[in-house]
Amino acid sequence: MKLLIILLFISFQSLSNDQIHPIQVVNFINPEQFNLVKLNIEESHKLNNVEKQGFLEIIETGNYLINWINEINKNRSTDQKIKLTSKQSGGIPYSSPMVTSKTLLIERYQTLISQNNFVSETLRSKILPFPNLNQIDDSDFIKFAIPFEKLTNHTIRFSTQLKNLSHYIGLKMYDVRGYLFFKEEPKRADQLNLFNQLNKTEQENFRFYLINLCMSSELSEKECIQIFEKNKKYNTLYSMYQKHLKDGESFYNLFFRVTNPRSDVYFQDEATLISNFIKTNPKIDLWLQTAVESAWKSDTFKLKLHFFNDNSSKTDFPHITFQKNVWAHVNEVGGNIITMDPSLDLFEERMISTIAHEYGHILGFVDCYLEFFDTNLQAMIYYELDSKNIMCSQSGSFLPIHQQLLKTKYDTNNEETSWK
């Protein structure tokens, strides 16, 4: 059964690569992309007419905003251009996940659009020609515009995910918030022996995470609720925790692995890992090399990209391709094809972080964030297992454990390993 779970997890990871990653940025700068998203919403069977109108209004407002910014930037130098994107900081922890639903998106939009400021007022009226920024500082414009840009991105992602809802419902089986809760502070488990002495809020918190941990043993939520109530009655909640801890750890470790290691990646010396890559053009190659090599390094390790010309089939070596209206992704974990949207500014901070993350997939690392659909809440839940990890979060970086796994996979012939 565990082998089946691992294979399903890898399969889900591959499917997820075709969806928009929460750390990526979307900018509407061409009518083709705008019309594609509109059509996706209009044809959705998961939205009623009111919800469709609400989503379309959000998308149209986001499109107006981006076109407005493009108009502003036409006559500005590169360093003076309005930019709404920056590298994310802080991450999204399991304890405060991002919750996205049809209702929340529309309510958030109504709150933003009704605000009394220059940006909201302009977006409400959608006047043409676009107004200039004489009456507002760039910093204030960016402050008011960023929430609309984020809301537009979330709406695009959510409407896209609705097309493959069964996939995201299935991903709930990998929810490890219960394990993370007790792993974060091991002494918490001792409080289960004193459960009846905890206040109501604390009891509800422990109940949620313990039931979640129980579900790691391939039990339904209903079964785990029954198990919880029985153990609560006999004051054996700590035993319940011990029984399911190992299964929770097994699911957790699925997120921290290198799978499908490459035969064309090797250590040149003790500290230098070589990764072959097919040339694109000097500008793209320099961008890729700078972004990836600066991210995947430490005082005792460095990743070096070796670029070469390839006149034969590209199926056997990593390469980058550009396609309109797609989210940045690798075709599979340990795959060869990085796909990017040519209309995006590759030199934006978030895109630099994104390509560094995606290159981790080339090396065989899986994602260590989770996004699934909660049928009880009728909402998408997203959180990162470790905000310091480059494969979990945009705010993450290269860690000693990445170096350890790369040494294990590419400097030896050891079997599959994972870190804890």
85-111 residue pLDDT tens: 655 556 899 999 999 999 999 999 999
User: Which of 401, 409, 404 shows the shortest CA–CA distance to 262?
Assistant: 409
- Are both 126 and 22 inside the same structural domain? yes
- Are both 249 and 271 inside the same structural domain? no
User: Could you tell me the pLDDT band of residue 419, with boundaries at 50, 70 and 90?
Assistant: very low
In this prediction the pTM is: 0.86
Give the type of residue at 171. L
pLDDT of residue 290: 96
Mean of pLDDT values over 170-183: 96
Structure tokens at 110: 């109504």
pLDDT of residue 275: 96
Q: Is residue 377 part of a domain?
A: no
pLDDT above 50 for 7: no
Structure tokens at 337: 């094809």
Instruction: For residue 217, give its domain range.
Output: 177-253
User: Which of 13, 320, 50, 24 shows the shortest CA–CA distance to 170?
Assistant: 13
215-273 residue pLDDT tens: 999 999 999 999 999 999 999 999 999 999 999 999 999 999 999 899 999 999 999 99
pLDDT of residue 33: 66
Q: Is residue 375 part of a domain?
A: no
pLDDT of residue 20: 47
Q: Is residue 139 classed as helix, strand or coil in its secondary structure?
A: helix
Among the candidates 253, 276, 308, a domain finishes at 253
pLDDT above 80 for 13: no
349-371 residue pLDDT tens: 888 899 999 999 999 999 999 99
Give the DSSP letter string of 275-311: EEEE---HHHHHHHHHHHHHHSEETTEEEEEEEE---
pLDDT of residue 418: 41
pLDDT above 50 for 3: no
Q: How far apart are CA 184 and CA 176, in angstroms?
A: 12
Give the type of residue at 303. L
Among the candidates 187, 221, 253, a domain finishes at 253
3-state helix, strand, coil in the chain (%, to 5): 50, 15, 35
pLDDT of residue 393: 92
User: Could you tell me the pLDDT band of residue 12, with boundaries at 50, 70 and 90?
Assistant: low
Number of compact structural domains in the chain: 3
Comparing 183-197, 295-309, 398-412, which segment has the lowest mean pLDDT?
Answer: 398-412
Q: How far apart are CA 263 and CA 261, in angstroms?
A: 7
- Are both 11 and 122 inside the same structural domain? yes
Give the mean pLDDT of the chain.
88
Other Cβ atoms within 10 Å of 197 Cβ, number:
9
According to DSSP, residue 219 is labeled -
Q: Is residue 415 part of a domain?
A: no
Q: Strands, E, within 11-58: which ranges?
A: none
pLDDT of residue 298: 96
Other Cβ atoms within 10 Å of 369 Cβ, number:
24
Q: Is residue 418 part of a domain?
A: no
Q: Is residue 9 part of a domain?
A: yes
User: Could you tell me the pLDDT band of residue 198, with boundaries at 50, 70 and 90?
Assistant: very high
- The sheet with strand 98-100 has its strands ordered as 98-100, 379-384, 369-374
- Are both 19 and 149 inside the same structural domain? yes
